[in-house]
Amino acid sequence: MLTHDGMFVLQAGNADPLSHEFFASCTKTLEEIFQIVRPYWVPMFSFGLPWGFVIASKKEDPLELEQEDVRRRINPSVLWSFSSSRSLCPSSLLKGRFKEG
């Protein structure tokens, strides 16, 4: 269950402008449930196209969060990394997408 100040993140599929129907549908569906919905995409080189995600919230706009707020909110059990020094986790994927303090 999502807490009152929680945020929901959905992997929403292909975000290519020529084939974005599912991505758009996911966004519209979440807009019926949440007050704040922010779709975004990242380049997915292994697929050769942009891949979409949607962050939704009842209370706070994720674009207004400070980077430290994001780090504090992420449950450490969901973070993982490669055996190399390069980390692949939600906070590193979203770096630069939030207002810097």
Tell me which amino acid residue 46 is: S
Place of tokens 């430290």: 68
* Contact by Cβ (8 Å): 76, 67: no
49-91 pLDDT per residue, tens: 888 899 999 888 888 888 887 777 776 555 544 333 344 444 4
Nearest partner of 56 among 12, 100, 22, judged by Cα = 12
- pTM for the structure as a whole: 0.65
Determine how β-strand 7-14 pairs with β-strand 36-44: unpaired
1-59 pLDDT per residue, tens: 777 777 888 888 888 888 888 888 889 999 999 999 999 888 888 888 888 899 999 88
